[in-house]
Each structure stands twice: as structure tokens, then as C-alpha cells.
Amino acid sequence: MSSSDIEKRQSSDFDVTYRQQHGYGTGSYNGSENYGKADENGVHKVFTEGENDKYIVIGRQKFLRDDLFQAFGGTLNPGLAPPSQHKFANPAPLGLSGFALTTFVLSMVNAKAQGLTIPNVFVGPAMFYGGIVQTIAGIWELALENTFGGTALCSYGGFWMSFSALYIPWFGIVDAYKEDQGQLGNAVGVYLLGWTIFTYGLSICTMKSTLMFFALYFLLGTTFLLLAIGSITDKFGVNRAGGILGIIVAFIAWYNAFAGLANKRNSYVKKFSSVLYKQQQLLSYKQQSSTSYEFIKMSWEGFKKAINRAGNSVMIKNVDRTIDKDFDIEERRYKVLQKAGDSLQKEAKGYLDSLRAVTASQVTVAEVISNLYDDSKFVNSSAGGYNVGNYYLQCVQDFDTETVKQLDGPFRETVLDPVTKFSGYFKEINEAIKKREHKKQDYDAAKAKTRRLVDKPAKDATKLPRAEKELNLAKDIYENLNESLKQELPQLVALRVPYYDPSFEALVKIQLRFCTDGYTRLAQIQQYLDQQSRDDYANGLLDDRIDSLLQQMQSLDICALGIK
């Protein structure tokens, strides 16, 4: 059986099955039935006729079987062609890189780095890299259906091109304000203020992204705000602050750009806390980033708390502020202890390093003296013809090896390690004090909120009970932590003396051992010196003898050749 016969057989079987299922019978159309008439439901019966059911009759229409099947299953009515599929690279790193470089250059000028005062150097990057290239990257983002990325990159690309137009004489913008330079500053300030509003709006749209991505837009908005204020008020300090903050923004933009570029194939840095990295590594991120997500979430929550506390500290009135003078006194005493402890740790390590440096210098000096005595034709006859420099070298080498090296271990165990361990507690105590300060701010904010609801009752009657409940909870947390610190900080300060006493005693003994051994060893060198030198030293004549030797040296012709 050929393929065409199989197709006809399948089509015939389909027709028979279709007619049986729909009650049309299995017979062919013979013209005796009501031709073209519909039933009571308005549905026409379907008939076939001809050899091998070559024709199909629907109502008063007669079709070739092959044409009808092609119309329903072939290409007679193809519909819309499916859109072509293209894979594009991520354009965000390109746009962010252009933005970062241009921002860095202009911010260095605003910060007056290296004495820069003429800003025209940024015009080239602003027109081409930060302007045209960034705009192209933004259009690319729109093609990828990324509305936020396209809006941001195209907008800032337009910003750089429009801002650089101020420094291009062809546009005539600055020339229009020649008669009133103050008005030019105000106009630029208003222009930058508009970008401040726009950028803060974008920062709101990044609050559910990563901390670095949010920081980019938030700090950029603050930079625009500072530059706008500086342009309007003509304050050097404000402009410079905007420039410094702009440099930070540039590095954050570079960070986010590199996050979109770095991967396992080209970088050993595998993870960046960036929204671009999450776009490129979405699958692996979902599998491996539960810990990273929690860390980012915790960092973001902490950042929001810090912002809220900063705002509350400004808005809270003095009547709602909590003051504990007893704690303030204990905190000041603790700060004095911390400063002394950190200084003691630093100086203790410096003392050990100094001992090593002294003995190493002694060995170096002894080596030079030994070489001088070896080169000298004079040999101490009273010492048996031995080189006294060699004895001195051997003495300081033994002192360095046997004494100082032996003191290294005991000094670490009894002095340096205990002092370092005690200083290590300062970090934990500082964290507790910092936490207490945060809880105090939360308590003050809860008091202020409750007081406002009492003074001006809200329409929602449940707000005041909720505020009072939050106030009681914040009060309990703050007071427990505050009382704990007030009780334990004095104990810590009081324990400093019994804790440091053994280390101080060990330090004195180590110093005594160092000085005693050094004196004992060096005193033995005297027996190798000539008797005349020792007698002159004892009688106070050694200085006169040295002066006589110096005069003899000066009388040599070689000493006067450079003067003549």
C-alpha cells in the first residue's frame, strides 16, 4: 500500500467516525436529501460524494476534499508569522561604566582634586561615553523589555549630553547669562534640582533590590542635591562635598557594572551583591543563595532601621529624650579604660619589637667592629694577640640567641597575650553600648509617638493601645540592657588592676633579666681590653687620650687635601 493510499484510508476513516459521532450517518450524498437545508439548530449536515469521497458538501457549498483539508491544516490560512528570537547580551554594565567614568571625572573636578578648577576635561566623556554610549545601552535595555534600565540609562545619557552643552560655546547657553552670572548659578541649580527629584524617584524603585544598587541611586540623588545647593548658594564647601560624594557614587557604579561582567569563566571573584549579578546568575542564585539572601535582607533591614533612627533623632523633642547620667559617667570611665588598654597593647607589642631591633643592631655593629679589628695591623698584645672585636661579636650573638630569644615566649604568654585578650573584650562591649543606644532611640521614638497620639487622638481608636504596647516593649528592652551595662561596666573597670598586676610584674622581671644578662655579658669584654685603656677610663683620662688621637689624625696631610 502506497503512502497516498494510506492517507486516503485515514481520511475516509476520519469521515466515517465524524459522521457517526455527529449523527450524520455514513452514507454519501445522493441528492435525494434536502440540499442545503439546515436542521432546527441551524446546523448544516456534511456529506461526501464522488469516488473515494473526493468531494465534501457543506450546505450549498461543494469542495474538493484535498483543498478543504489544506485550508484547515495546511498553509492556506497561515496567520501571523512567529516573531524571530534573538539573544542579546546584558547592556547594563556598558551603560553603568559610561556613567561611572564620566561621574568620576567631573566629581574629581568638583572636589578640586590635584588643584583642578577647569571642568572642560569632562566634556568629551560626557558627550560620547557617558552620553551617546550610555543612551545606546538604555535603548538596548528597552529592547530587552527592561523598562527601569532603559529609562535610567537613557535619561542619564541625556543628562550628560545636556550638561556638557553648558561648556560648548556653540550652544550659547553660558553666553546668555553673561550680564548676570548669579542667575546662571541659580538656573544650573534648578536644573540639578530637577535631576535630584528624578533620581530620588528612581531610588524608590530600587528599594527591593540589593543594597549596593539602592545606594547607587540614593547617593546619586544626594550628590545632585548638594551640587544644586552649591550652585545656588555658591558655597565652595557644599560643591566640594558633592564632588567627594560623586566619587563614591562612581565607584559604586563601577562595582555594579563589574557585577554584570564577572563570572566563573573570567574572574576569581564569583559573587557580587548586585542586581546585575542576579540577572545573569538567576538559576544558580536560587539554588545556592539562601544564606546570601538572608545576609542581604539583614543588611537592608539594618539600613532601613538606621535611616528611621536618624530621622527620629531629629524629630524627637527634648521632652521625649531619655537621659541617664549614671550610665554616662560609667561609659566615660570605660572609654578611658579602653583607650589605655588599646595603647598598652600597642606599646607592649612595640616593646617586644624594640628588643629584637636592639639586639639585631648590636649584632650588626659588632660585625663591623670585628671586621675593623681584622683589617687593623694592631693586635692587642696584652690580650694574647686575640682580636677583641671577635669577642664582642660572639658576646652579642650569644645575648641575642640565648637571652632575647628565650624571653620572647614568656613575654608573649605573660604580657602580650593577656593584654591582647583583655582588649578583645572591648569590641563586644562597644557592640553592647551601641545596641543600648539603638534601643534608647527606639524607646524615645515610641514615647514621642504615644505622646502625639495622646495630644491629638487618631480616628483609629486602636492606634493608641498599639502604641502603648510598643512603648512598654521598647521600655523593657532598653531598661534591661541599660541596667545590665550600669552594673557590669563598673565591675569591668574595677577588675583592671588585679588583671593587669601579674602582667606588670612579669614585664618588670623580663626587663630585669634583659638588663642584667646584657650587663653581665658585656662586662666580660673588659678583660680583653688593654690595661692602659682600662686605667685611663677609670681615672677619667680616656677622653684626653681620644682627643690626642684625633689631633694626630687631623695633622695628617690627607685630612687637609680637601681644604687646600
Cell numbers placing 102: 564620566
Longest alpha-carbon distance in the chain: 158
| pLDDT higher than 70, residue 59 | no
Is 357 within 8 Å of 517 (Cβ atoms)? no
β-strand partners of 49? 55
**Averaged over 474-490, what is the pLDDT?**
88
| pLDDT higher than 70, residue 380 | no
pLDDT-based confidence at 156, cuts 50/70/90?
very high
Residue 206's nearest CA partner among 338, 337, 92 is 92
End-to-end CA distance of the chain: 129
| pLDDT higher than 80, residue 372 | no
What pLDDT, on the 0 to 100 scale, is given for residue 155?
A: 92
Is 56 within 8 Å of 63 (Cβ atoms)? yes
pLDDT, the chain, mean? 76
Specify the DSSP element, H or E, that contains 48: strand 46-49
| pLDDT higher than 80, residue 334 | yes
What pLDDT, on the 0 to 100 scale, is given for residue 248?
A: 92
SS3 of residue 232 by DSSP? helix
Beta-carbon-side half-sphere exposure of residue 123 (alpha carbons within 13 Å)? 10
159 against 314, higher pLDDT:
159
> CATH 3.40.50.300: does it fit domain 325-529?
no
**Model confidence pLDDT, tens digit, residues 528-562:** 777 777 777 777 777 787 888 888 888 877 776 66
Looking at residue 175, the DSSP 8-state letter turns out to be G
Residue 261's nearest CA partner among 243, 246, 280, 240 is 280
Residue 107's nearest CA partner among 256, 229, 254, 224 is 224
As a whole number of angstroms, the distance between CA 470 and CA 563 comes to 91
Identify the weakest region by mean pLDDT among 59-73, 304-318, 347-361.
304-318
Is 100 within 8 Å of 253 (Cβ atoms)? yes
pLDDT-based confidence at 194, cuts 50/70/90?
very high
As a whole number of angstroms, the distance between CA 405 and CA 367 comes to 19
pLDDT-based confidence at 19, cuts 50/70/90?
very low
**249-251-254-259 Cα dihedral, nearest 10 degrees:** -100
Specify the DSSP element, H or E, that contains 507: helix 496-523
As a whole number of angstroms, the distance between CA 287 and CA 283 comes to 7
| pLDDT higher than 90, residue 198 | yes
β-strand partners of 64? 55
What pLDDT, on the 0 to 100 scale, is given for residue 281?
A: 45
Q: How many residues does the structure list for the chain?
A: 564
**Averaged over 311-320, what is the pLDDT?**
58
β-strand partners of 63? 56
| pLDDT higher than 80, residue 2 | no
Cell numbers placing 332: 566615660
**Averaged over 273-281, what is the pLDDT?**
45
Q: Where in the chain are the domains? A: 3-73, 92-280, 325-529
pTM, entire model: 0.42
277 against 495, higher pLDDT:
495
As a whole number of angstroms, the distance between CA 322 and CA 471 comes to 13
